[in-house]
Chain A
Amino acid sequence: MSARRSLSAEWLLLPAIAFTTVVFGWPLLILLRMSFNQHPPDGIYVEAWSLENYVAVLTEPANLSAVFDTLYIALVTAVVTVAAAFLFAQFVWLRQGKRRAMLLALALGPMLVSEISVIIGWRMVLPSNGLLSWSLFASGLIDRKFNLLGTEFAAVLGLAYISMPYCFFTILGVLNGIDRTLLTASGDLGASPWRTFFKVLLPLAKGGIASAFTQAFVFTMGIYATTNALGPDGLWTVGYEIQRQMLSRRDWPLASALAVVLVLLIALVALGVQALRHRKAPRHG
């Protein structure tokens, strides 16, 4: 009886599996196949079974630095986003009613505008004649204008802005599952608010933090427009490099190899975070 039921459950999964295989698996296989082809000087690709593209990705300084820059910017962004999202989520979690609804609407804000609008928006805020520097200067708070556009700070800011809502809602979802009386109980037993945060709230929200981190990290690894438009010229991400190889240099095999490496890195990070999270699995009620 139960064997039959689980069998029928598997059958029910079939459409989803078939869809995933066709829509995601098939292009990925084509991508993988392309990464072993060769790039002739006068064309796009010739069929081959060569590892030269991977050698190029992993040995050429320009490509390597793109990989490291991507990892670096994604890591910084993920940490910043998760920290900000956590603080905001905690703030919303401890509030009720109308105030809470308004804050939730506010959190959805970044999702209402496209990546391009986000870029344009920050480009109006960050330069030395932009909104931020200009208004501080005009109000007499500073005596020299400053430029933030084209800095790593700007890149991280833009990326964090885009991935913030996803992280926020993931963390809020986990916080909503935590009994607030636990915080009261911790204080009642003599723990200061700080110790309550580190001993009770943080451990209980660990799962949500890990998911949010993975989300922000993976998301940021794939974005290149924001990084490119707000960050410094020297900051070349893998995403940007793929785009350049694909569209400008017409080197599809190299672009494919870069993409495969990017996918593997993302998978590795996601698995690593999962492993960390389950290392000492507490049981929850």
Chain B
Amino acid sequence: MSASATALSLKHIVKRYGSYVAVDGIDLDVGQGEFLTLLGPSGCGKTTTLRMIGGMERPDAGTIEIKGRRVDRLPSHKRDTATVFQSGALFPHMTVAENVAYGLKMRGVPNGEIGPRVTRMLDVVRMGDFAGRYPADMSGGQRQRVALARAMVVEPGILLFDEPMSALDLKLKLELRAEIRRLHEEMGFTAVFVTHDQGEAMTLSDRVAVLNKGRIEQIAPPVEVFERPASEFVYTFVGESCVLELGGRPLGEGARLGPVPAGRQRLYLRPHHLHVVEAEGQDNSIRATVTAVEYMGGGYRIHAETPAGNLFFDTSRAPVIGPDHILAIGWSSADATYFPAS
């Protein structure tokens, strides 16, 4: 989904709290109709960035433009954004219908239009039968659907999501995720979605921006972030990884490595690229001592140690090996990622 026009543009945004720099110079362009996710660990600045887009925080430096209009000095209620909050933040003294109508009323939509738009939007999120209920009488998943309807109904220039699923259990999470995907396809809104859950980031986004310490480490489509991580941080944050320190201690007898870049290096491997080597002739392999075998439900995870670091990989068959077994673990050169050791 390529972006035709820029809906949102952040230029060198900085936010400090005292001496702590929460957001350290973020540049970001989001295309019309694009679904962009800010992914990162807690404290990486993703929520602060979202709040600055929504007008709940003011940047200390930089500019924010929504559809070509500069908004970084505007208060929240004058910006063309609407947010789905982590807690839902539904007004407890209003019914579902009143909650959804709230934004339309505040934006001065004529009364005659409000009713039909509310009804239509509640049908879209499949909450039509709940119009007269109060938030306290609904489940967490239902409340989040209403929160979604309340934000979408005003047809904001940018729809903001502040970890909207982190308070839900796994089943509801997956359900709501599918729902947001469907709605994005149907309605084509522009979205900035904040999460620390890479599964959400991978399945929902057109592009993912991986944040660390207030900076963007990589911004790319999900596949690229996973397959071609731009930095060590991205590699380790997105997906599972094993790391071997090279150039230090000897790798032990029978170790074979493909071409390694010069200097001290760290070798990163995905567990699903690892396998047990039966015969010689593999590009890359290393001898490892099994330390533990865990049953994972439907498969087993084998942990093993080598002189250069620990490895783990999954196998679906019940392993015949146990702790203290020595085996050769191999991978192909194409799956090896090297970063210079710092």
Residues of A within 8 A of B (CB): 179, 181-182, 184-193, 195, 199-200, 203-204, 282-285
Which residues of chain B are near A190, meaning CB under 8 Å? 77, 103, 106-107, 154
Interface string of B106-132 (1 = CB under 8 A from A): 110000000000000000000000000
| A189 adjacent to B134 (CB under 8 Å) | no
| A284 adjacent to B54 (CB under 8 Å) | no
Which residues of chain B are near A185, meaning CB under 8 Å? 83, 85, 89, 91
| A188 adjacent to B81 (CB under 8 Å) | yes
Which residues of chain A are near B94, meaning CB under 8 Å? 282
| B91 adjacent to A283 (CB under 8 Å) | no
Interface assignment of B150: CB less than 8 Å from any CB of chain A: yes
What residue of chain B has the Cβ atom nearest to residue A190's Cβ? B106
| A181 adjacent to B87 (CB under 8 Å) | yes
What residue of chain B has the Cβ atom nearest to residue A284's Cβ? B92
Chain B residues with a Cβ closer than 8 Å to the other chain, count: 27
Residues of B within 8 A of A (CB): 54-56, 75-77, 81-83, 85, 87, 89, 91-94, 102-103, 106-107, 134-137, 150-151, 154
A193 to B106, CA, bound (A): 11
A186 to B102, CA, bound (A): 8
A285 to B92, CA, bound (A): 6
Which residues of chain B are near A195, meaning CB under 8 Å? 106
| A282 adjacent to B77 (CB under 8 Å) | no
| B54 adjacent to A188 (CB under 8 Å) | yes
Query: In the complex, what's the smallest C-beta–C-beta distance from B59 to chain A, in angstroms?
Result: 17
Which residues of chain A are near B151, meaning CB under 8 Å? 189
| A282 adjacent to B93 (CB under 8 Å) | yes
A192 to B85, CA, bound (A): 19
A190 to B102, CA, bound (A): 9
| B91 adjacent to A200 (CB under 8 Å) | yes
| A283 adjacent to B137 (CB under 8 Å) | yes
What residue of chain B has the Cβ atom nearest to residue A199's Cβ? B102
- Contacts A189-B107, A190-B106, A283-B136 known; 17 new A-B pairs at CB < 8 A: A184-B85, A185-B83, A185-B85, A186-B106, A187-B56, A188-B76, A188-B77, A188-B83, A189-B103, A191-B106, A192-B77, A195-B106, A203-B93, A204-B92, A282-B94, A285-B134, A285-B136
